[in-house]
């Protein structure tokens, strides 16, 4: 293995930059070349790349986003597109590819391996933290801290005005970000896609809180929660808006709806994200150089490991029910 390709794809996540830096510097340490493709798989298809050396990844460890930029590339989803990509990689003499991204991006890498035998490594990076077989994905810790900061501020105003706040959190179909930040932020209710809920339940929780003399009521809701409810009522509004308006109507309490949106995706990576990214980036190079193929680097809470990419992508990541139940007990 002489030359390694690296790209970032799908949604950006804080920590992608330190991961690229670690890939480049570990490879340089082992006397290997690295080229970085711009805009995810689109960069391979368009031969849009840059040769990277130790210096080209200087001064990026603290930056959110990804300096290689990221994009969604539909052409790569077709077999024809992937064949073209493989041909371009072959011409550039890329012997192995490291893909930093979420489920979709890593699925693309897996297909490159299955269809063309190209050695690939996946680095899980998504604030949704929804990839199985790894405790943490790159970006999750930073996003948690960003949400927590917002929740602290919302709590100040919620308490001062004795208001109810419904805060909608990102996560696509996953509830990790909402669950963990809801717990860390002391939310009164946490609604996630993995656990069904009824509107009446939320109302009775709110009533019980008011009765106990709670000055504020913070309801954290994951953007993907309440699918069943939305389907049944054919309500197209965001789940945060549906819940907030229902509370207003049923309880006549002042209710504010805050959708945190894209501010959750940006920001300087936290120490934990920088350390995990650096370790994952380095490990992905080591695995490639050791002759491993089609692995995902993973953090088991202590060590960085290489796990089977196919297995990681085929497994569902389950919510930790201990954390969910503990958060419930804390809010009573």
How crowded is the C-beta side of 181, counted as CA atoms within 13 Å?
A: 34
For ligand ADP, the closer CB: 111 or 275: 111
Q: In the complex, what is the shortest distance from the CB of residue 174 to ligand ADP, in angstroms, rounded to a whole number? A: 11
Q: Select 41 or 136, whichever has its Cβ closest to ligand ADP.
A: 41
Residue 140 or 165: the one with the smaller Cβ distance to ligand ADP is: 140
Q: Angle, nearest 10°, between helix axes 140-161 and 176-184?
A: 50
In the complex, the smallest distance separating the C-beta of residue 101 from ligand ADP, rounded to whole angstroms, is 4
Specify the pairing of strand 255-259 against strand 189-191: unpaired
Distances (CA, A) of 163 to 112, 153, 184, 252, 259: 52, 13, 20, 11, 16
Query: Minimum Å distance from CB 110 to ligand ADP?
Result: 8
User: In terms of C-beta density within 10 A (0-12 exposed, 13-18 middle, 19 or more buried), how is residue 303 classed?
Assistant: exposed
How many other CB atoms are found less than 10 A from the CB of residue 235? 15
Q: Tell me the residue nearest to ligand ADP as measured from the CB.
A: 104
Strand-pairing partners, residue 121, are 98, 295
Catalytic residue among 12, 128, 130, 141: 128
Find out whether 41 and 134 touch, Cβ atoms under 8 Å.
Answer: no
Smallest gap from residue 103 Cβ to ligand ADP (A): 4
CB nearer to ligand ADP: pick between 105 and 145? 105
Residues that bind ligand ADP (CB under 6 A): 9-11, 40-41, 72-73, 76-77, 101-105, 107-108, 111, 126
In the residue annotation, 128 being an active-site residue is answered as yes
Structure tokens at 313: 């992508």
Catalytically active residues, by annotation: 128
């Amino acid at each position: 293995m002489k030359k390694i390709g690296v790209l970032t794809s799908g949604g950006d996540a804080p920590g992608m930059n330190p991961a690229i830096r670690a890939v480049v510097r570990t490879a340089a340490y082992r006397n290997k070349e690295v080229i970085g493709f711009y805009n995810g798989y689109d960069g391979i298809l368009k031969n849009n790349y840059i040769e990277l050396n130790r210096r080209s990844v200087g001064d990026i460890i603290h930056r959110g986003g990804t300096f290689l930029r990221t994009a969604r590339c539909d052409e790569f989803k077709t077999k024809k597109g992937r064949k073209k990509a493989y041909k371009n990689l072959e011409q550039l003499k890329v012997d192995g590819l490291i893909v930093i991204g979420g489920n979709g991006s890593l699925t693309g890498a897996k297909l490159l391996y299955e269809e063309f035998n190209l050695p690939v490594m996946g680095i899980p990076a998504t604030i949704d933290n929804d990839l199985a077989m790894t405790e943490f994905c790159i970006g999750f810790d930073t996003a948690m801290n960003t949400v927590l900061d917002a929740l602290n501020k919302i709590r100040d105003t919620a308490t001062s005005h004795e208001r109810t706040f419904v805060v909608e959190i990102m996560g696509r179909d996953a509830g990790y970000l909402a669950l963990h930040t809801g717990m860390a932020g002391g939310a009164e209710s946490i609604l996630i896609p993995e656990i069904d809920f009824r509107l009446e339940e939320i109302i009775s929780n709110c009533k019980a809180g008011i009765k106990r003399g709670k000055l504020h009521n913070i309801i954290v809701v994951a953007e993907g929660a309440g699918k069943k409810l939305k389907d049944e009522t054919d309500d197209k509004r965001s789940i945060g808006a549906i819940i907030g308006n229902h509370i207003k109507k049923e309880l006549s309490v002042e209710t504010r709806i805050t959708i945190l949106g894209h501010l959750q995706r940006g920001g300087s990576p936290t120490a934990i994200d920088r350390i995990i990214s650096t370790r994952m980036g380095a490990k992905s190079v080591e695995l490639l150089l050791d002759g491993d193929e089609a692995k995902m680097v993973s953090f088991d809470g202590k060590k960085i490991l290489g796990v089977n990419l196919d297995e990681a992508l085929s497994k569902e990541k389950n919510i930790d029910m201990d954390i969910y139940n503990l958060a419930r007990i804390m809010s009573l």
